[in-house]
Amino acid sequence: MNKRNMIIKNASEVVTCSGFTAKKGKEMSDLGIIEKGAVVVEDGIIKAVGPQSEILQKYDEEKYDVLDADGKALLPGFVDSHTHYIWGGYRAEEFSWRLRGDDYMDIMNRGGGILSSVRQTKAASKEELYRDGMKRLDSMLSFGVTTVEGKSGYGLDFDTEIKQLEVMQDTDRDHPIEVVKTYLGAHAVPKEYKGREDEMIEEIINDVLPVVVEKKLAEFCDVFCEKNVFSIEQSRRLLSKAKEMGLKVKLHADEIVPLGGAELAAELGAVSADHLLQASDEGIDQMAKEGVVATLLPGTAFSLKEKYARGREMIDRGAAVALATDLNPGSCFSESIPLIFSLATLYMNISTEEAITAFTINGAAALDRADTIGSIDAGKKADMILLEFESYKFIPYHIGVSTVEKVIKDGKLVYDKEGSPAVYR
């Protein structure tokens, strides 16, 4: 079944997550469920969704491929809105260091952390990065991800940053998952720029950003706004210039210390601010007011044994919260969507309904795509997942195990747990 016209019927529930903008506060609990629902897809776009009794009266099944959901739940495809899935090498030894109590910033200061991945990514060929990136996307697809954000940032120089973005472009072309590319050249400060961070920002602005924009290698610009990395003023300058050049902006904000990154995100009208473990009440309120999506990454806090971001409070204060994996080789080597659901629901006091919103329509909003993906609404791309069970409530309940049986991207069946091959390209 690889056509782009289909009818999906006999779903126990169609979890629409209906909407075209991010959901804030109490809105995040509304999943727009249609019991015994059906969906019609034409040319890869959702044509209609509703109760099966109504849908099947209006559309002739003989003109479509028919997918029998067999009493199982149908949801929008998951949107993983913060990953670093293109990198070279691994850092398993550093994980052991952290287990014995070494601090993450201490590891960075002695040449580990991000800078270790920078060295290995520089040494990797485009072919190696492509091969590993495709394998990671295959794994993400098996967890129900249909759109992913990929960040550069393991080059910190012109050639390697461009290499990462070009590899993302190639994997986006060749893999069913849609890749949204983010330039993160200001991810860390290499040794040669210690004490010269302003110069590094100027070189990024003058030398790298124009090429990224001209070649359309990225849609977003991001910065690691953090103590001992890039200051509020340096981050403001970089992101303001990126906006002037036509890029949308994001921030790694308030992860380790309460620097004011959330407030800066609101000031700049960023699409999202991510991490936010140390975000202030004022910063959260300003983000909620300005419509900045708070993208929370509980897998990273879990991996680093840090306190989780205040997801419950953010939702209660009226913020739009998204969840993402932060897949990377150091602080969170995991693309497991079930793990993130478990951490969010069990340890961040986020309800199952809110977590699903956070991984669908709000994840889409964190990538400025809520108008085209993230929900099962007429007019949107037909990106959907069919679970093995009759209810969305099984997602966090089956702890650490994927409940995704089938994945549909742009109206095509691209993954079937029972099928072979596992990924249809």
Q: Tens digit of pLDDT per residue, the chain (425 long)? A: 556 899 999 999 999 999 999 999 999 999 999 999 999 999 999 999 999 999 999 999 999 999 999 999 999 999 999 999 999 999 988 888 888 888 877 887 776 788 889 999 999 999 999 999 999 999 999 999 999 999 999 999 999 999 999 999 999 999 999 999 999 999 999 989 999 999 999 999 999 999 999 999 999 999 999 999 999 999 999 999 999 999 999 999 999 999 999 999 999 999 999 999 999 999 999 999 999 999 999 999 999 889 999 999 999 999 999 999 999 999 999 999 999 999 999 999 999 999 999 999 999 999 999 999 999 999 999 999 999 999 999 999 999 999 999 999 999 999 999 885 556 66
Q: Report if residue 162 sits inside a domain.
A: yes
Question: Is the same domain home to 213 and 274?
Answer: yes
Cis peptide before 421 (omega within 30 of 0): yes
Question: Is the same domain home to 52 and 109?
Answer: no
Question: Is the same domain home to 139 and 275?
Answer: yes
**Res 4: pLDDT:** 80
Q: Report if residue 21 sits inside a domain.
A: yes
List Cβ neighbours of 188 (8 Å cut-off, separation of 6 or more).
108, 113, 114, 115, 118, 153, 156, 224, 229
Q: Report if residue 422 sits inside a domain.
A: no
Question: Is the same domain home to 152 and 12?
Answer: no
Q: Report if residue 302 sits inside a domain.
A: yes
Question: Is the same domain home to 325 and 398?
Answer: no
Residue 329 in contact with residue 90, Cβ under 8 Å? yes
Q: Which residues, listed in sequence order, are joined to residue 37 by a DSSP beta bridge?
A: 11, 51
Q: Report if residue 283 sits inside a domain.
A: yes
Q: Report if residue 421 sits inside a domain.
A: no
**Res 326: pLDDT:** 98
Specify the CATH number for the domain of residue 329.
3.20.20.140
**Res 425: pLDDT:** 60
Question: Is the same domain home to 47 and 163?
Answer: no
Cβ atoms < 10 Å from Cβ of 4: 15
Question: Is the same domain home to 277 and 317?
Answer: yes
DSSP, residue by residue, 224-290: EE-TTSB-HHHHHHHHHHHHHTT-EEEEEESSSS--SHHHHHHHHT-SEEEE-TT--HHHHHHHHHH
For the CA atoms of 225, 227, 232, 234, the dihedral, rounded to the nearest 10 degrees, stands at -80
Q: Report if residue 33 sits inside a domain.
A: yes
> Pick from 365, 385, 408: which residue ends a domain?
365
Residue 287 in contact with residue 316, Cβ under 8 Å? no
| CA-to-CA separations, 53 to 32, 118, 223, 267, in angstroms, rounded | 18, 56, 50, 49
**Res 422: pLDDT:** 57
Q: Report if residue 423 sits inside a domain.
A: no
Question: Is the same domain home to 151 and 63?
Answer: no
- Report the predicted TM-score, pTM, of the whole model to 2 decimal places: 0.96
Report the C-alpha gap between 285 and 261 in whole angstroms.
13
Specify the CATH number for the domain of residue 71.
2.30.40.10
Question: Is the same domain home to 242 and 300?
Answer: yes
Question: Is the same domain home to 251 and 389?
Answer: no
Report the C-alpha gap between 154 and 163 in whole angstroms.
10
**Res 94: pLDDT:** 86
Residue whose entry in the numeric block shows the structure tokens 């993450």: 104
Question: Is the same domain home to 45 and 162?
Answer: no
Collapsing DSSP to helix, strand or coil, 384 comes out as strand
**Res 112: pLDDT:** 78
**Residues of the domain holding 71:** 6-75+374-416
Question: Is the same domain home to 12 and 86?
Answer: no
Tally of domains within the chain? 2
